[in-house]
Amino acid sequence: MTYLVTREGTKWTDVYRLVPGETMTIGRTPTNRIVIKDERCSRRHAEVFNTAAGWVYRDLESRNGSFLGAERLEHDSTLQIGDAVRIGAVYLQLVEDVSDVFSDGSSIIHKGGMTSKTKESESDPNVQVLTESEERQITHRTKETQFLTEKNLPDDSVAINQVGQAATALLRLACDLAESSNLSQLCELTLAGLCEETNVEAGAVLLLPPDLQEQHPTAADLEIFTTKTMTDEVYHRCTDFLATTVLQTGEAIMAQNAIEDSQLGGRDSKGDIHATSVIVAPIRGQDRILGALHLYSTRLDMTPDPLDLEFTLAVAKPVGVALENLRQRDALADDLNLVQAQTVELIKLLGAQSEIIGASTGIEKVNQEIIRAAPGRSTVLIRGESGVGKELVARAVHYASPRSEGPFVCLNCAALTETLLESELFGHEKGAFTGATTRKRGKFEAADGGTLMLDEIGEMSPTIQAKFLRVLEGHAFERVGGSDPIRADVRVIAATNRDLEKDVEEKLFRRDLYFRLHVIEILVPPLRKRPDDIPLLAEHFLLKYNEETGRRIRGFTHEALDALVHYRWPGNVRELKNVIERAVVLTQGEYLEVDDLTLSNLGTVGDSVTGMMIKEQQYEPRSLADMERLHIEATLNATDWNKSRTASILGIERSTLDRKIKRYELKR
């Protein structure tokens, strides 16, 4: 065993065990293994480490240097047993037997408390040495405060009154601490309350780093977070001995003459501060000590009593709870910020891969739903009018999912007859029907390990629906004309512009298949409900067809852009794309004008079936009741049967709207 023993003046202070393979850092900051509070010691002054030749001392280019005798150590120096290196007024001596330097009968302190010096203690890797005078400094110890227990309550009325006043102050302070919004405010409130209720002049909140892994922290690990003094004097840090004792025993202590072994208060002839009384209490968390509260007085007429010690320990408990809550809140806030940043990056990446263009609330909601749906393997049902870009949404789900490296296969169920659709889905064997000259793999096999999108799922016949449902349930399927069972790992994304609920009621769509598909639903809003996206889409398509056709059209006139924004777009994004393509091919100028845009007179899905935009020559006399029914129905359709929004547009109560829907027998 090899140790470094530190000495200040005539007193040996601390013993540090040197462990081969570990570097012992020396400096003034608390992050060092050996902390020296001499002003001539640099923040990172030196380090001691083991080599084949022995223990080597390395000065880290300190300002005031390290000395071995009269020689300044400027390079790596191998120390011999008994060598004493001086940093300022502090000596560090290399020894193998700790008892060699304590021949005056001094004692030592272990992690668990103070004991007499023994051979067993010499092998302790964290031995701290203290003199007999330092042992006598501690006058009171307590681990549990009487304010938080029913034991040891005073009997006399004066003491009971003191406890009552202290308990009232403690309750008031605890309420203030619970409302603290940050760590600085918490510490300031704590010190203000303690300095007001106890006989002390100054104090500080000393905290251990949140990420400290050391199970037995020492004073070197403590960091001064907040200080407070009732006078013009600066705060004087707690001695390493007292701080380490509190951290390792978990007890609050009160000590006398703890900064210097003197019977005088105030300052001595050298100008050093002497504390007549000191209180140090541990700040406990749920399962570990978080720091300590340090209070002291330098005046003989202001001496804290045991009740002040009890009060300080009682305050330390809610401080520990509040401190842990604040740290957990900050950690959650950091996690939330990280998740939000990751979400933004994912959305950007998603937009780059899927070509989803738009900045409206509707598109942002779609992107958020894609992010949530992508990681799993559940069936996704994409709903929206024809031309809104349901296939782009399906591709986005695929490319944002773990299956992005697999195939993405798309099939339009409305474009094929029942026989051909079955063949496309499941494949067929050679000779299965007229024209089947070779064996063909179906879309399920082609999409194995990837994603299969079925567009216009509502057009699928009942017979195919039954077979499709069986495959969705995980069963094997067979090719048309074949008998070999085939399994495929496929995620299904279905899309439709039909009202599947209505089709289920009318027996056009299987109820069980509807519930199997309706696991995750993504509703893509029509283009007329997100006018903010129209200029972005128009600019995108203009650049696209400029590049394809070689034209150099510079943009849109204000009138043309206004016409695009206010048009109802019954064909949605598909129609906008075709309008821009036609305009780019046919225009003769540098800018697209209103005359270059070919806009139709077709109504949208949200328009009333009776035509609310009736031309004068098509006027048909109607009663007010009929007009009210038509107007309510048209507004409901325009808002996709959002009753709250419809009632707001009509200027009536929601309950009134419900009565009118029932009276006119309106159905979605």
Per-residue model confidence (pLDDT) at position 343: 63
In this prediction, residue 292 carries a pLDDT of 92
Is the separation of the CB atoms in 285 and 320 below 8 Å? Answer: yes
Rounded to an integer, the average pLDDT of 273-297 is: 85
What's the rounded Cα separation, in Å, for the pair 340 and 127?
48
Q: Tell me which DSSP letter residue 608 carries.
A: -
- How much is the mean pLDDT over the chain? 80
pLDDT at 520: 93
Residues 210, 211, 216, 220, CA torsion sign? negative
* Separation between Cα atoms, residue 15 and residue 6, nearest integer Å: 7
Query: What's the whole-number mean pLDDT along residues 207-227?
Result: 84
* More confident position, 161 or 51: 51
And the tokens for 513?
Answer: 């298949």
d(CA 289, CA 313): 13
Tens digits of residue pLDDT in 460-498: 988 889 989 988 888 888 888 888 888 889 999 999 998
Mean pLDDT confidence for 75-96:
89
Quick one: pLDDT at residue 618? 53
Instruction: Assess whether pLDDT exceeds 60 at residue 545.
Output: yes
Return the pLDDT at 257: 65
Of 120 and 362, which is predicted with more confidence?
Answer: 362
Helix-then-strand count for the chain, H and E: 19, 31
| Burial annotation 436-467 (CB, 10 A radius, 16+ → b, else e) | eeeebebbbbbbbebbbbbbbbbbbeeebbeb
pLDDT band at 273 (very low <50, low <70, confident <90, very high): low
Predicted confidence at residue 534, as pLDDT, reads: 93
For residue 8, list its beta bridge partners: 11, 90
308-339 pLDDT per residue, tens: 888 888 888 888 888 888 888 878 877 777 67
Do 145 and 281 contact (CB within 8 A), yes or no? no
pLDDT value at residue 79: 92
The proportion of the chain whose per-residue pLDDT surpasses 90, expressed as a percent, equals 23
Give tens-digit pLDDT for 135-151: 446 777 777 776 655 44
Question: pLDDT-based confidence at 166, cuts 50/70/90?
Answer: low
pLDDT-wise least confident of 33-42, 235-244, 341-350, 406-415? 341-350
Task: State the sign of the Cα–Cα–Cα–Cα dihedral 573, 575, 579, 584.
Answer: positive
| Mean pLDDT for the stretch of residues 29-50 | 87
371-395 pLDDT, tens digit per residue, is 899 988 899 999 999 999 999 999 9
The pLDDT of residue 574: 92
Q: What is the pLDDT of residues 208-217, one digit of tens each?
A: 888 787 777 8
In 239-359, DSSP assigns E strands to 252-256, 266-267, 273-274, 277-284, 289-297
The H or E element containing residue 90 is: strand 90-95
Mean pLDDT of 614-634: 74
Q: What is the pLDDT at residue 536?
A: 92
Long-range contacts of 410-417 (CB under 8 A, 24+ apart): 410/452, 410/453, 410/455, 411/443, 411/452, 411/453, 411/454, 411/455, 412/455, 412/456, 413/454, 413/455, 413/456, 413/457, 413/459, 413/460, 413/464, 414/455, 414/456, 414/459, 415/456
Say if residues 88 and 26 touch (Cβ distance below 8 Å). no
Strands 107-110, 11-18: pairing kind: unpaired
447, 493 contact by CB (below 8 A): no
Rounded to an integer, the average pLDDT of 403-410 is 90
How many other CB atoms are found less than 10 A from the CB of residue 51? 10
Residue 193 amino acid letter: G
Tell me what pLDDT residue 655 has. 85
Task: Say if residue 176's pLDDT is above 50.
Answer: yes
Residue 288 to residue 216: CA distance in whole angstroms? 10
pLDDT above 70 (res 301): yes
Query: Does residue 48 register a pLDDT over 90?
Result: yes
pLDDT digits (tens, 9 = 90+) for 111-134: 333 333 333 334 343 333 444 344
User: Token digits for 469?
Assistant: 């449902």
In angstroms, what CA-CA distances link 397 with 55, 351, 388, 521, 560? 62, 11, 16, 12, 34
| Residue 608: per-residue pLDDT | 43
pLDDT at 578 over 50: yes
Beta strands 107-110 and 77-78, pairing class: unpaired
One-letter amino acid at 422 equals E
- For residue 650, give both structure tokens: 């009509």
What is the spatial distance between Cα 369 and Cα 384, in angstroms, rounded to a whole number? 14
DSSP state of 480: B
State the pLDDT confidence band at 28, using cuts at 50, 70 and 90.
confident
The tokens for 342 are 């990751």
**pLDDT of 110 over the 80 cut:** no
